[in-house]
Amino acid sequence: MEKYNTLLYYCYSTIADAEQFAADHLKFCKSLGLTGRIIVAEEGLNGTVSGTAEACKQYIDTVHADPRFAGIDFKVDEVDTPSFVKMHVRYKSEIVHSGLRNPEIIDPKSKTGKHLNPKEFMEMKDRDDVVVLDVRSNYEHNLGKFKNAITLDIENFRDFPAMINELAQYKDKKILTYCTGGIKCEKASALLLHEGFPEVYQLHGGIIKYGKEAGGKDFEGKCYVFDGRLSVDVNSVNPVVISKCFNCGTVTDKMINCANPECNEHFTQCDNCGEAMEGCCSDACKTHPRKRVYDGTGYYVKVPQPINTDKKGLKLQY
Ligand SMILES: [Zn+2]
Ligand SMILES: [Zn+2]
């Protein structure tokens, strides 16, 4: 059977003509037969792509050959089937939406938290003068997080800046931030520094790299990912399940999207309730006229949207 890889990466590096770059990069990805999602902005690249091992290797080599991207740390997973159906490369104003548009204030290229590799993070995280901060959203940390980590009640990373006041009580501690792959921490830690937190560190490569290189010790539950897998295992040292079925409360780590496309809520649901609820979060969703057929995975390929002519949200391909 053919081997496929899924790559996850990001890079803060200035791209002068980001819109043109996005169009050219889409052609390049298609020429390799890759599928996935890439965001291009003046501040850098954020992507996850999937394809044959050969195509992925060629992609990595070509991207690395560009001096702007020579330092990109690609996280490589082996998968049985490609993790996406289509290839999208989109130009946006930020590679991760932080709601902070002012690069004078938040520019990870010039100032960000100190990077910790997985081993350094593991050694520091349980010290008394350290606070571990999960900068991800509710649907992510509900499924899995580091033991004793502080989590935020946010639905989207763009709500992070509004939570800074709540964190002020930890100003005398060393803050260790983490997220899925590291990209959000670049901005979150930069903002914390800007707000006067004196010692801010970030887990370089995020939970995914920590799982690969440090065995995922003390990460409880699973890690939510933004592709067809929905979640991945991280901890091979002392794993536990922390999430409960949204409907019946049984312990489960199965993450699904609600079968009602207008709801599409990310939530955990056990197989019994999945069958009974047909993959829906509620009775209202179960009787919704547009409800999708639940095949047991709870993952649905996005339905093409009408072309958006707004420059910032330009859909380059459907
Ligand atoms: Zn259940
Ligand atoms: Zn629903």
DSSP letter at 251 equals B
Please state which of the four CATH numbers 3.40.50.720, 3.40.250.10, 3.60.150.10, 3.40.140.10 is assigned to the domain occupying 114-232. Answer: 3.40.250.10
Q: Per-residue pLDDT averaged across 302-317, rounded?
A: 40
The total of other beta-carbon atoms located within 10 Å of residue 81's CB is 11
Instruction: Evaluate if residue 313 carries a pLDDT over 70.
Output: no
Mean residue pLDDT of the chain comes to: 91
- Cβ < 5 A residues, ion ligand 2: 258, 260, 263, 265, 281, 285
Does residue 12 surpass a pLDDT of 90? yes
pLDDT at 312 over 60: no
Mean pLDDT of 159-163: 93
Catalytic positions: 179
Ligand 2 center from residue 227 Cα (angstroms): 19
CATH number assigned to the domain with residue range 4-91, chosen from the 4 options 3.40.50.720, 3.40.50.150, 3.40.50.800, 3.30.70.100: 3.30.70.100
299 C-alpha to center of ligand 1: Å? Answer: 18
What share of residues in the chain are helix, strand, coil (percent, to 5)?
25, 20, 50
* Residue 27: per-residue pLDDT: 98
Amino acid at 18: A
Give DSSP secondary structure letters for 53-120. HHHHHHHHHHHHHSGGGTT---EEEEESS-S-SSEEEEE-S-SS--S---TTT--TTT--PEEE-HHH
Residue 309: the pLDDT is 36
CA-based radius of gyration for the chain: 20
* Per-residue pLDDT at 317 exceeds 60: no
Query: Per-residue pLDDT for 224 more than 60?
Result: yes
Q: Which ligand is nearest to the CA of 261?
A: 2
Domain boundaries in the chain? 4-91, 114-232
In this predicted model, which residue has the larger pLDDT, 305 or 247?
247
| Residue pLDDT, tens place only, 84-109 | 999 999 999 999 988 776 666 788 88
Residue 17 alpha carbon to ligand 2 centre in Å: 40
CA of residue 46 to ligand 2 center, whole Å: 29
Residues 6+ apart with CB under 8 A from 312: 91, 92, 93
Question: Which ligand number lies closest to the CA of residue 263?
Answer: 2
- Check for a shared fold between 4-91 and 114-232: no
The pLDDT assigned to 83 comes to 87
pTM of the model: 0.81
Q: How far is the CA of 287 from the centre of ligand 1 (A)?
A: 18
From the CA of 265, the nearest ligand is 2
Phi, psi for 266 (deg, rounded to 5):
-85, 125
